[in-house]
Chain A
Amino acid sequence: MPGNRNRSGKAPKDGQTHGEDSNTDINLVDESSPIIQAFKQYQNELDTKHDKHERLVKLSRDVTLESKRVIFLLQRIAGGTDENKNNVLKEADTKLQAIQDDHFRKIALELDGEDPYQFLKAYTAGMQEYIEAVTFFQYHKDQSLTNHLTIQRQLQFTQNCPTDETSNSTLPNVENPKLPKLDIQDQPVKPLDSASCESSYHDSQISAIKTIEVLVTPLDYILGVADLTGEIMRLAINSVKTGNANFLFQLCDFMREIHNAFISFGNIHREIRRKLNVLQQSLKKVETACYTLQIRGSEIPKHMLADVLSGKTMDGPVYRDFDQDEPQDQ
């Protein structure tokens, strides 16, 4: 009897139903039993959490997709005219704005009143891709690296607090009725938030402003920067077509700077180590490109030069290996 149970999920129940007759009371799920009552509450809590996680994963996926599009757009700058570049930058700027205002605002709303670290895994992929896009955009604009704080500031949003006594849970409904989380979530606001709400409320007397944000962890930031070098490498190889040697050398310097910094971090984080490997390969590739351009630049016609550098004709196998290892993001 008890031994024949198969391994399917329902097995224990079957086993119980033909259990010993004197113990029939175990078989019936007693609705009023304190254990069952407690578990009903646990079920509710777990479902709420899983739903939130799932929504964040979806939002993160959208962020990844949109950020990738921005990066592709920016890659098209190479070889274009100044006018073309400005147009592309403008378009990219609009798109990045849209990601912030649309997707990240929703993420921030989901995370409002939560410990952001609890849900970090749900949106970290999107965040890294977004950081890559933003830093790439900034680099095109003025050859600088956007710092962590700037990105964090862009992901802070203000929001009106309800002026009456109603609790915070009703508030996002007004802001964004589409969000389902609000139906379930009626936890009290973090004391800190309500305090800040309160104070600004007294200041304005009409409506209070609350800041919500999507946390950008330093680790996500640095991993996003590591991804950026992959894009810089592609940009460098493409830019050879225009024969702009200065730009190539400049890109190479930039990569070297990032590379040196990564080396100095040491073997702290597995992800960092993995990215460093890819980064080293990209750097090698760009350095070889610089070398080739330097030594052969005057000998080979420009249109062939690009082919040489991207490894289509010369030293094929070596370069092709690198091509395959290119940090094509998953």
Chain B
Amino acid sequence: MSQISTTSDIFTDFRQFLNADQELREDIRVKVRDLEQTARDILTILQAVHQPEGIKECSAICEKAKSKFDIIRTQLTALIAVIPQGQYYRFHDHWRFLLQRLVFLVAFIEYLETETLVTRESISEVLAIHVVRDDGFHIDLEDFLMGLLQMSSELSRLAINAVTAEDFSRPMRIAKFVGELDSGFRLLNLKNDSLRKRFDALKYDVKKIEEVVYDLTIRGLKPKTEVKETKE
């Protein structure tokens, strides 16, 4: 039954635990760093949509960005391989920001292509990971929501740049989309944590987009008016 170990044995055991823990964390850190680099590359590619000429060839840019996800999938597999079974949350902090960033990227691409909100299912498909915890490496719901909030900030930027590129209908659609996203977030009962703080910033994105819509409206640049003019 219970072996009575001496005090020094106990501490030797703990020291071994610490060493093993440290090595594992170092391993995870290296792999997460690689993933972060790839995510940054994808983000750089996507930045082209903010250019006046880029906004017209969204799909080409998205395709280019999507091709990079092969690397992400490979790197994620390598990361998953080093995490002990059932200890996702023990090391959660190491990849929390990375996954938020990836959710943002996938959601942004999905929006540019189809103008719909990405689901967790399609994210898990793109990244080749699971949806729920019971199946293995997955995306924590709060991280997923964080990624969506990052996307709405990017969209408010896009609304402004769309106007510069003389794409006047896009801001309207973005306003509708982000408005809906905002109503969605307001359904959540958030605790006073980082997600709540990030959500508080969403209203400024909403506001910025609304201002763009307002500016377009009072100047008669709204697409509806345009259509009327051409009809007349």
Interface residues of A (CB under 8 A from B): 1-3, 5, 9, 11-13, 15-16, 19-20, 22-23, 25-27, 29-30, 33-36, 38-40, 42-43, 45-47, 49-50, 113, 115, 117-118, 120, 144-145, 147-150, 153, 187-188, 190-191, 218, 221-222, 254, 257-258, 261, 264-265, 268
Contacts and interface: CB of A to CB of B under 8 A. Distances in A.
B134 A2 contact: no
Contact of B222 (A3, A16, A22, A118): A22
B92 interface: yes
Interface of B: 2, 4-11, 13-15, 17-18, 22, 86-90, 92, 116-117, 119, 132-134, 141-142, 145, 172, 175-176, 179-191, 200, 202-203, 206-207, 210-211, 213-214, 217, 222, 224
B182 A46 contact: no
Contacts of B172: 23
A12 B181 contact: no
A39 B190 CA distance: 12
Nearest to B13: A148
Q: Which of B133, B141, B183 has the most CB of A within 10 A?
A: B183
B116 A12 contact: no
Contacts of A268: 18, 22
Contacts of B89: 115, 117-118, 120
Given A2-B214, A29-B183, A39-B184, A258 B7 contact: yes
Contacts of A20: 210, 213-214, 217
Q: Is the interface of A mostly helix, strand, loop or mixed?
A: helix
Contact of A22 (B7, B116, B207, B217): B217
Q: Which of A5, A39, A188, A257 has the most CB of B within 10 A?
A: A39
Given A15-B210, A23-B213, A43-B189, 16 more contacts: A12-B202, A26-B176, A36-B183, A38-B117, A39-B184, A39-B188, A46-B141, A118-B89, A144-B7, A147-B4, A150-B2, A153-B2, A188-B134, A257-B7, A265-B15, A268-B18
Contact of A46 (B132, B142, B211): B142
Nearest to B181: A35
A117 B10 contact: no
A15 B205 CA distance: 12
Q: Is the interface of B mostly helix, strand, loop or mixed?
A: helix
B133 A12 contact: no
A144 B4 contact: yes
Nearest to B117: A35
Contact of B187 (A43, A148, A265): A43
Given A42-B188, A115-B133, A117-B92, A2 B7 contact: no
B175 A26 contact: yes
B228 to A, nearest CB: 12
29 contacts: A1-B214, A2-B210, A3-B211, A12-B186, A12-B202, A16-B179, A19-B210, A20-B213, A20-B217, A22-B217, A22-B224, A23-B179, A34-B117, A36-B187, A38-B117, A38-B184, A39-B188, A40-B187, A47-B189, A115-B89, A118-B88, A145-B10, A147-B13, A187-B132, A187-B134, A191-B134, A218-B14, A221-B14, A261-B8
